[in-house]
Amino acid sequence: MTLAMWLAIFATLYGLGMWLLLPRRIAAGRAAGAVLMTAAVAILGTRLVPPGALTTNILFYALAAVTVVSAVCAMTFRSPVYSAIFFAVSVLATAGLFLVNGAQFLGVAMVVVYAGAIVVMFLFVLMLAQPEGLAFYDRLAFEPLLCSVSSGVLVFLLTITLLTPGTLPSVAPLAEAGADGRAADGLPGVEAEAHVAAIGARLFSEHLISVQVVGVLLFVALVAAAAIASQSRRSPPPRTAEGGTA
């Protein structure tokens, strides 16, 4: 079996599983979809090259599996509340992946900003806008088959491009530079103690203007959000738009 065939099987299973999992008219087949999706993730896992030592491998595979599976769950569960919660799980696992990959600060930031702030905000909005729970439009997906097929093609193209030997640089720029400070266990390329300090130093020296711009952006967004939200309060009573709600 060539890599392409494996990946084709993976993409097919993925697409099929995604189609079965997505909200549809019929509830049947979701378990089969879960099985197929799990199989697809497993097949893809077998195609990956273990990156290093055993601990690292275990950590990576576990976190990656949690990330992907919870992402699938977030997209396919019918309740938006569950979606938000699974998204939080996915974000947490991604933070773990960041830690494994030597980006400790980002891992923490992801947890704080995404899982801590944004997901909570989602839940608040859900509470405000959809207090009655599950609505009919959460049980109907738009063009599930077409989207699943295109997504399957997309993951096939992505994985075959990434996993075919030779498409990526075959040698890391600093592969031989293991001596100059890279930890032996393959964890962060820079010393852990110096990491946040180094990021901070870079952030406020090299990227100072970007930081300022982002700060301004945040402020503007704050004002805008407040303005929009207050405007909506004064807005006239809901009018019936054509289409939409049946």
Partner 1 sequence: MFEPQLLMRVIPALPLAAAVAIALLGPRVLKRSCHALLVVALLGSLVASVLLARQVLTAGAHGEDHAGKNHAAAAASPEADEHSTAAEIPQTTLWRWAAVEGATSSSAATYASSGGEPFAESQPLDFTIDITLRADALTAIMLVMVTFVSLLVAIYSIGYMHDDRGYWRFFSYVGLFVFSMTMLVLSSNFLLLYVFWEAVGVCSYLLIGFWYEKPEASAAGKKAFLVNRVGDFGFALGIFLIWTLFGTLNFHDTSAIDGVLGLNRIEAAAYPAGIVATAICLLLFVGACGKSAQFPLHVWLPDAMEGPTPVSALIHAATMVTAGIYMVARCTPLFAASGYAGYVVAGIGGFTALLAGLIAVTQTDLKRVLAYSTVSQLGYMFLALGVGSAAGIAAGMFHLITHAFFKALLFLGAGSVMHAMGGVIDMRRFGGLRRLMPVTHWTFLIGCLALAGLFPLAGFWSKDAILAAVYDEAAAHGTGDWEHAATFFNYLFLVASFTAFLTAFYTFRAFFRTFYGEERIPPEAGHHAHESPAVMTVPLMILAVLAAVSGYLLHVNETFAHWLAQTPGIPAVVHHEGHSSSHSFVAMLSTILAVGGIGLAAYFYLGELTQIDRIARWLRPLYVASYGKFWFDPLYQLLIVGPLWLLAQLAYFLDRYLIDGLVNLVGYLPRVFGGVLRRVQNGMLQLYVLGMIVALLLLAAAVVLPRLPVPEKPAESEATSVQPSPAPIRVGHRPPTLPSPDHTSRPLRGEGVR
Partner 2 sequence: MNEVALLQNYLVVGGLLFAIGLVGFMTRRNTIVMFIALEMMMQGVAVSLVAWSRFHNDFSGQMLVIMIIAVAACEAAIALSLILMLARRSSNLDIAFWQLLREEGQEPTLDEEVPAAEIEHEPWPELTPAGVEPELDPEKVRYRSHV
Among 55, 130, 167, 212, binds partner 1 (CB under 8 A): 167
Judged by CB under 8 A, which stretch of 67-75, 106-114, 196-204, 230-238 contacts partner 1?
196-204
- C-alpha 246/C-alpha 230 separation (Å) is 29
- C-alpha 152/C-alpha 13 separation (Å) is 8
38 binds, among partner 1, partner 2, none (CB under 5 to 8 A by kind): none
54 binds, among partner 1, partner 2, none (CB under 5 to 8 A by kind): none
Among 16, 20, 80, 115, binds partner 2 (CB under 8 A): 80
199 near partner 2 (CB under 8 A): yes
- Cβ proximity to partner 1: between 24 and 61 the closer is 24
Site for partner 2 in 131-150 (CB under 8 A): 131-144, 147-148, 150
133 binds, among partner 2, partner 1, none (CB under 5 to 8 A by kind): partner 2
The 3-class SS string of the chain reads CCHHHHHHHHHHHHHHHHHHHCCCCCCCCHHHHHHHHHHHHHHHHHHCCCCCCHHHHHHHHHHHHHHHHHHHHHHHCCCHHHHHHHHHHHHHHHHHHHHHCCCHHHHHHHHHHHHHHHHHHHHHHHHHHCCCCCCHHHCCCCCHHHHHHHHHHHHHHHHHHHHCCCCCCCCCCCHHHHHCCCCCCCCCCCCHHHHHHHHHHHHHHCCHHHHHHHHHHHHHHHHHHHHHHHHHHHCCCCCCCCCCCC
154 near partner 1 (CB under 8 A): yes
Among 13, 64, 89, 115, binds partner 2 (CB under 8 A): 64
Site for partner 2 in 169-188 (CB under 8 A): 169-175, 177, 185-186
Among 134, 194, 208, 216, binds partner 1 (CB under 8 A): 194
131 near partner 1 (CB under 8 A): no
212 near partner 2 (CB under 8 A): no
Residues in contact with partner 1 by CB under 8 A are 2, 4-5, 7-8, 142-143, 146-147, 150, 153-154, 156-157, 160-161, 164-167, 169-174, 180-181, 189-191, 194, 197-198, 201-202, 243
